[in-house]
Amino acid sequence: MTSFTVSYTPILILPAGASAAAAFAGAASLRRCCLSPLLLLPPSVAAASAAAAFAAATSAVAVFAVAACFARCPCECMLTVIYIVVTKEAPGPLTPQTSKGKGKRKRAPTAVVSDVMPDRASPGRRGDNLQTTHRVSKNFLKVLVSPEDPDVDIIAVHGLNPTNTEFHAEATWTVEDKLWLRDFLPLQLPSARVLLFGYNANVAFETSVAGVREQAINLLNRIASKREEAEEKPIVFVAHSLGGIVVKRALVEAKLDDSYKSIREATYGIAFFGTPHQGGNFAKLGDIAASIIRGVLRNPSSTFMEVLKKDSLFSDALVGDFRHQLEDYHVLSFFETLPMGRLGLIVDQKSATLGLAGLRERQIPMDADHTGVCKFESAEGDDYEQVSFNLVRLVKSAVKAAAERARIASLSVPSSRPLSEAASVDTVTKSLLSHLPYAVDAPFNSYSRQHDPTCLPDTRVDLLREIYTWADGKDGRFIYWLNGLAGTGKSTIARTIARKYFENGQLGASFFLSRGGGDVGHASKFFTTIAIQLARKSQSLQRYIGDAVRKNADIATQSLGDQWRQLVLGPLSKLSGDSYPSSYILVIDALDECDNDEDILTILKLLAQAQTLRTVRLRVLLTSRPEIPIRHGFYQIPETEHQYCVLHHISPSIVDYDITIFLKYNLGLIGKKKPSLSASWPGEETVKQLVQIASGLFIWAATTCRFIQEAERVFLIRKRLAAILQIGSSISSGIPFLQNVLKKKKKSPQAC
């Protein structure tokens, strides 16, 4: 029988005549490797001093070997060039012998593979007596830090461990015996319990056939066992590389299995360190490692590496499954900016980030490569300070949110409560609703929008009539899309519609978006704001929406889909009787100014579900520029279910007529405030010139009026009007000029 020794250890090759300095340099390059490196010297080398220096620097084993397989170190340090040595007769790697036989070192961890002759009872079969004796990684969830009364669980999940080293879970987060989750973080979060998850993430030479799903369930089971008496405490995951994919899979499984519901609901956030959400560039190196192993063992199982391959089916499926939960969590995405030698960036920014809207995700670049992105030598280092600042803030927010959920839950009224206590129930409901996130600047009549104009009498007559007819209609076209280029008056029309239906009691809600406007620049408070406005319309809606909040205390952190179904569609579908209007209208302005294209598409898809309502009609007036995401969204809504109008296609003569009325009205107000101006100021001819310069843009007319109005003295009013006419004669639109002057005026009141 011939046996082979397979060593799962990184190796450095030294050329013939290598010096001690070269050995030390090679040792330094391997210092961060989680395994014990070997030194490989070809038989022609007599550089015993180099071997001794290398061994002293790394506590490594120096060997003479007859064969080697080339690849990268699979522990994710990516620093070495060989990791498998095959020597005949399985002697075990030893240091070069001295004349007195000194220098023997302990054998490296090995797997002995017997190449057995065919068994007579089983002709033609080989390898039936395969034996393996190598160090196996443990599956565990152990507590690193356990304060007396913890208020949050931080759970760390490591990445790939293809060589199945026993202490890879610790080594992932460790530099020179400093495990920052244990040694640094408790100084800033003394009440946080820190747990470390270890699992078999072997690439090819697996000791189990568990795939990502199995390891995810393994994680859930172990978390559940650790939290039996503290299910309400929030959870923050910290994951490196593949560990992030295991966490995502675990949360998907927790969504599907109610036995893990408490874990999903307790999870507040995730800190991803170099997690390849769309696959990673070093998956191909895993294929190299797998092919080497296959040369020794037949048909080894390998499921984990498929997850990291670019555009793999499993990765795509997981992305799709997890997308439905994206809005449920707060995310920190730390990504590498330093290349891993010639391999370049292992997981680039695009793959390492999720692209969540608003404050749901913070993307933080790290001055590190893929391995160093989650290792820190000192609590005072800039890299650790960057991580700890964001992580501490995330954890504190999780604790605060959990306390708020507990407070809201304490307000819950049992369903068996007597109806005689209706007043108390109403008080509780109002208290529940008051804790839904609300974008105060979103409604058309918010304080910040009180000076925004509506359409003047005798303007937009035909268009407004068309929209009123649609809003009051009973056909299936429940969405009206008013689109137009910038400055064509969409928002003014939307405010006019919102005002009319607000006054007759049929305005369900309004949400006016504004890019970069904080809460009105993204969708995180979109449906909660609409729900609160709806709750003010009737006691029935208030009760139904309050019940939804009571049953789902964390609804505000859930996905847009869950918020729409539970806070809007569900309560509206429960309405019955004659105590409510037969229809409500939602007015949504400038949807294109939402900062996330995927959220725009999601909102459109959800609004399309309004057609399922039977007891009440919900009509949605939506305005936007004709941008691609919105056009694509409407392509998916049948023409029989929506109506649209393109503002910039309206006859120019109609638009010019409306702008003429607008200019006469606003310039007339200026004239009334300045008696020294003539009663006919600025005159019909001047108004015609201004209309011509406006070229159909209401925003130009509005900016012009504002520009002139802000001049306090008559001579400045005349000067500004003359400047506009002069600029307009050479520039088709003077908006940039006017805006620049207005900015200068804010800095210097004497300008122009």
CA-to-CA separations, 580 to 470, 528, 529, 539, in angstroms, rounded? 20, 21, 20, 10
**Sequence-ordered list of residues with C-beta below 8 angstroms from that of 131, at least 6 positions apart, any chain:** 112, 113, 114
Look at residue 323 in the predicted model and tell me its pLDDT. Answer: 65
Contact 118, 124 (CB under 8 A): yes
Most confident of 434-443, 673-682, 710-719: 434-443
pLDDT for 690 beyond 60: yes
Question: Of 50-54, 249-253, 289-293, which gets the smallest average pLDDT?
Answer: 289-293
Look at residue 230 in the predicted model and tell me its pLDDT. Answer: 83
Higher pLDDT, 518 or 737: 518
pLDDT for 229 beyond 70: yes
Round to whole Å and give the CA distance between 356 and 675: 55
CB burial of residue 636 (10 Å; 0-12, 13-18, 19+): exposed
Look at residue 722 in the predicted model and tell me its pLDDT. Answer: 86
Nearest partner of 145 among 196, 182, 191, judged by Cα:
182
Round to whole Å and give the CA distance between 324 and 340: 33
Look at residue 247 in the predicted model and tell me its pLDDT. Answer: 94
DSSP 397-424: HHHHHHHHHHHHHHT---TTS-GGGHHH
The mean per-residue pLDDT over the stretch 401-417 comes to 62
Question: Of 352-366, 425-439, 550-564, 633-647, which gets the smallest average pLDDT?
Answer: 425-439
DSSP H or E segment with residue 482: strand 479-483
pLDDT for 375 beyond 90: yes
Question: Of 59-63, 404-408, 627-631, which gets the smallest average pLDDT?
Answer: 59-63
Look at residue 509 in the predicted model and tell me its pLDDT. Answer: 96
Round to whole Å and give the CA distance between 90 and 204: 22
Left if phi > 0, otherwise alpha if psi is -120 to 50, otherwise beta: which for 672?
alpha
DSSP state of 568: I
pLDDT for 414 beyond 90: no
Higher pLDDT, 22 or 204: 22
Using DSSP's 3-state secondary structure scheme, residue 79 falls into coil
Look at residue 318 in the predicted model and tell me its pLDDT. Answer: 59
What is the pLDDT confidence band of residue 720, given thresholds at 50, 70 and 90?
confident
Round to whole Å and give the CA distance between 485 and 671: 31
Higher pLDDT, 650 or 498: 498
Look at residue 328 in the predicted model and tell me its pLDDT. Answer: 75
Range 562-568 contact pairs with CB under 8 angstroms and sequence separation of 24 or more? 563/527, 563/528, 563/531, 564/527, 564/606, 564/609, 567/436, 567/527, 567/528, 567/530, 567/531, 568/527, 568/530, 568/531, 568/534
Round to whole Å and give the CA distance between 222 and 61: 37
What is the pLDDT confidence band of residue 577, given thresholds at 50, 70 and 90?
low
pLDDT mean across residues, the chain: 74
Look at residue 580 in the predicted model and tell me its pLDDT. Answer: 58
Higher pLDDT, 299 or 538: 538
Higher pLDDT, 244 or 326: 244
Look at residue 565 in the predicted model and tell me its pLDDT. Answer: 93
Most confident of 40-49, 261-270, 693-702: 261-270
pLDDT for 134 beyond 60: no
The pair of structure tokens assigned to 581 is: 């209007």
The domains located in the chain, with CATH, are 2-115 (no CATH), 140-403 (3.40.50.1820), 419-648 (3.40.50.300), 652-747 (no CATH)
Nearest partner of 576 among 547, 614, 605, judged by Cα:
614
Look at residue 196 in the predicted model and tell me its pLDDT. Answer: 96
C-alpha distance across the termini of the chain, in Å? 99
Round to whole Å and give the CA distance between 310 and 228: 39
Look at residue 405 in the predicted model and tell me its pLDDT. Answer: 72
Higher pLDDT, 695 or 505: 505
Contact 195, 141 (CB under 8 A): yes
Look at residue 728 in the predicted model and tell me its pLDDT. Answer: 63
Round to whole Å and give the CA distance between 274 and 271: 10
The mean per-residue pLDDT over the stretch 234-262 comes to 91
Higher pLDDT, 727 or 573: 573
The mean per-residue pLDDT over the stretch 323-348 comes to 82
pLDDT for 497 beyond 70: yes
Look at residue 310 in the predicted model and tell me its pLDDT. Answer: 47
Most confident of 91-105, 308-322, 396-410: 396-410
DSSP 604-660: HHHHGGGGG--SSEEEEEEEE---HHHHHHHHTS-GGGEEEEEGGGS-HHHHHHHHH
pLDDT for 118 beyond 50: no
Round to whole Å and give the CA distance between 425 and 413: 7
Nearest partner of 585 among 474, 508, 502, 503, judged by Cα:
508
Question: Of 280-294, 517-531, 628-642, which gets the smallest average pLDDT?
Answer: 280-294
Q: Which position has the token pair 């003539």? A: 678
Most confident of 38-47, 97-106, 239-248: 239-248
Round to whole Å and give the CA distance between 179 and 174: 4
pLDDT for 182 beyond 90: yes
What is the pLDDT confidence band of residue 563, given thresholds at 50, 70 and 90?
very high
The mean per-residue pLDDT over the stretch 103-129 comes to 32
The neighbouring-strand residues paired with 335 are: 365
Question: Of 98-102, 179-183, 329-333, which gets the smallest average pLDDT?
Answer: 98-102
Higher pLDDT, 112 or 217: 217
Nearest partner of 490 among 247, 613, 655, 280, judged by Cα:
655
Q: What is the number of other CB atoms lying within 10 angstroms of the CB of residue 441?
A: 18
Nearest partner of 329 among 226, 398, 379, judged by Cα:
398
The mean per-residue pLDDT over the stretch 249-259 comes to 89
> pLDDT digit string (tens) for 25-55?
555 554 444 444 444 444 333 344 444 444 4
The mean per-residue pLDDT over the stretch 570-581 comes to 75
The pair of structure tokens assigned to 375 is: 């290792």
Please give the distance of CA 178 from its chain centroid, rounded to a whole number: 30
Contact 284, 308 (CB under 8 A): no
